[in-house]
Amino acid sequence: MAALQTRLRNLARRVSASAVSTRTVRMVNQRPIASFSFDDFPKSAATSGAAILERRGFRGSYYLSARFQGLTEDGIDYYDSDDVVRLADYGHEIGCHTASHVHAPDLGRARLESELESNAAFLREALGDVRMTTFAFPFGDIDLRTKLFMQDRFAACRTTSAGINRDIADLGALRALSIYSGTTDAERLRAVVRESATPRSWLIFYTHDVSATPSPFGCTPELLQAAVDAVAEAGFDVFPVRNALGPIRFRT
């Protein structure tokens, strides 16, 4: 019962935070845009996932929590420092996911500040003077207070609230769609891409591991490949989240 109450509470605060638009931009991109993002991130996302994107000339957004470096947890191997350096060198985005992978709405302001600074310091150790410019809420857990807090510190914040960003984007709570092998199939992905292939549209995907035997929050290489092929064949521009912020706002 307690677990159900927690899920319902988290759902209610996500809905309320997303319902209040706080940092909107009117989108101007004439070609649809897609972004691929990986949360936490497992080593397979940095290897198999990156390879799938790079074969098409695409780059992704990797949302990093310092606690996962070198960790193996629940059978998943997570990134190491070499993965971070390689991804950055190849033009992928390294974004913020808090240092400890926390439920942000449960923390006070001082602890949230500490989480962001610790994660930033961790990345500076790996990459030097590199700043994380976009944020993804761990567990998709967001309320209005933390939405306002994070949007003041990052150029954009991505949620797990399902949807397509169309015509007007709320940069404090960007909508996204999961690619999870347990709940998503290739035909559904292709249908979403067709639906999104319009001007002033931005489709953000997210997943975790990319493995032949994925976790409940990951996908197979074949499923990720299907999504990548679908957006390429539909004529989408594909950018990391940070790089899409220019095209959605300024005509090119």
Domain presence at residue 159: yes
Q: What pLDDT tens digit does each residue of the chain (252 aa) get? A: 556 556 666 666 776 677 678 889 999 999 999 999 999 999 999 999 999 999 999 999 999 999 999 999 999 999 999 999 999 999 999 999 999 999 999 999 999 999 999 999 999 999 998 999 999 999 999 999 999 999 999 999 999 999 999 999 999 999 999 999 999 999 999 999 999 999 999 999 999 999 999 999 999 999 999 999 999 999 999 999 999 999 999 875
Boundaries of domain holding 181: 30-249
Domain presence at residue 13: no
pTM: 0.95
Domain presence at residue 18: no
The strand pairing partners of 158, in sequence order, are 136, 174
Domain with 175 in it: what CATH number? Answer: 3.20.20.370
Domain presence at residue 22: no
Domain presence at residue 204: yes
Number of domains observed in the structure of the chain: 1
What count of other Cβ atoms lies within 10 Å of the Cβ of residue 20?
12
Q: What's the rounded Cα separation, in Å, for the pair 35 and 42?
A: 18
Domain presence at residue 20: no
Distance of CA 161 to the CA centre of its chain: 11
Domain presence at residue 51: yes
Please report, as a single letter, which amino acid is at residue 145: R
3-class SS of residue 50: helix
Domain presence at residue 212: yes
The strand pairing partners of 34, in sequence order, are 203, 238
